[in-house]
């Protein structure tokens, strides 16, 4: 399977605990995105990387959230001191982007990590 | 600021009926891309179509067709002869021309239920 993968698929934690999610993008894709999706809503952009550089962060990404992509391949999203409001599906997507291209390359999404904070 | 509105929260039709999902968008960009994604119960978003703002030709792919009207800022999606497997949540999304510098802006989605 050469699609975007995410691990774990489900995570249940207690309020105040730290959690970390992993995303493995499609191998040749240089851009990696994180989104959050709450029940009944569309995905909301959190942050994205081009290779190892984090180029954009949404205001939704509070100080308790941190994302890394140390070698430009997989990425991790950590939430510290989880709150019940963090309960959501966390989606990762990747795309191939090259400067000078005239076309936009669509984002391919992984299956998501569903976080439940008790 | 960009915005995508999918006014239909839920649509229920009987199998074989045609159904249209509405999408209205707002953007100040002159060049942008519009998308439709399908999210079945399994949760994974499945890419359906991409359209850039300079291409207003309608597109048909099998039972799926898309109507892009720049004058009304709409990008509607029609499923002809619907099937039970079409049941899912469908999202319309908007991006900027720079490869999604701010990520995609999604609507709230339309839950489509196809009854046998």
**pLDDT at position A11 over 70:** yes
pLDDT the model gives residue A106: 82
Over the range B10-29, which residues count as b (16 or more CB within 10 Å of their CB) and which as e?
Answer: ebebeeeeebebbbbbebee
pLDDT the model gives residue A72: 86
Q: With an 8 Å Cβ cutoff, are B44 and A106 in contact?
A: no
Q: Which two tokens stand for residue A45?
A: 């952009």
Task: Among B44, B52, B108, select the one facing A112 at the smallest CB separation.
Answer: B44
| Residue range B8-22, pLDDT digits in tens | 999 999 999 999 999
pLDDT the model gives residue A105: 72
pLDDT band at A57 (very low <50, low <70, confident <90, very high): confident
Closest CA to B6 of B75, B109, B113, B112: B109
Quickly list DSSP for B29-85: -SS-EEEEEEE-TT---EEEEEEETT----EEETTEEEEEEGGGTEEEEEESS--GG
Q: Which two tokens stand for residue B113?
A: 């239920």
CA A66-A88-B79 angle, to 5 degrees, is 120
pLDDT the model gives residue A102: 55
Q: With an 8 Å Cβ cutoff, are B100 and A108 in contact?
A: no
Min Cα–Cα distance to chain A from B83, Å: 23
pLDDT band at B52 (very low <50, low <70, confident <90, very high): confident
**pLDDT at position B35 over 70:** yes
pLDDT the model gives residue B18: 97
**B 67-96 near A (Cβ less than 8 A):** 91, 93, 95
pLDDT the model gives residue A75: 97
| Residue range A72-105, pLDDT digits in tens | 899 999 999 999 999 999 999 998 877 665 556 7
**B 41-70 near A (Cβ less than 8 A):** 42-47, 50, 52
Q: pLDDT: is B1 or A57 the higher one?
A: A57
- Cα–Cα distance for residue pair B49/B80, rounded to 1 Å: 16
| Residue range B57-108, pLDDT digits in tens | 888 889 999 999 999 999 999 999 999 999 999 999 998 755 555 588 999 9
């Amino acid at each position: 399977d050469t699609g975007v993968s995410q691990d774990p698929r489900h995570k249940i934690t207690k309020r105040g605990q730290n959690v970390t999610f992993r995303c493995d993008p499609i191998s040749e894709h240089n851009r990696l995105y994180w989104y959050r999706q709450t029940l009944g809503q569309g995905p909301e952009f959190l942050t994205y990387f081009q290779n190892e550089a984090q180029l954009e962060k949404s205001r939704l990404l509070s100080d308790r959230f941190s994302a890394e992509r140390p070698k430009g391949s997989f990425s991790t999203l950590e939430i510290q001191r989880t709150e019940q409001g963090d309960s959501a599906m966390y989606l990762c997507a990747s795309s191939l982007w090259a400067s000078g291209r005239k076309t936009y390359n669509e984002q391919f999404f992984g299956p998501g990590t569903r976080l439940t904070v008790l | 600021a960009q915005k995508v509105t999918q006014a239909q929260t839920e649509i229920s039709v009987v199998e074989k009926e045609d159904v249209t999902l509405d999408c209205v968008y707002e953007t100040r960009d002159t060049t942008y891309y519009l998308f439709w994604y399908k999210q079945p119960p399994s949760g994974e978003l499945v890419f359906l179509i991409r359209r850039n703002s300079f291409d207003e030709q309608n597109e048909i792919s099998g039972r799926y067709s898309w109507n892009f009207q720049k004058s009304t800022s709409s990008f509607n999606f029609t499923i002809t002869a619907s099937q039970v497997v079409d049941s899912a949540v469908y999202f319309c999304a908007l991006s900027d021309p720079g490869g999604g510098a701010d990520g995609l802006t999604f609507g709230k989605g339309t839950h489509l239920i196809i009854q046998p």
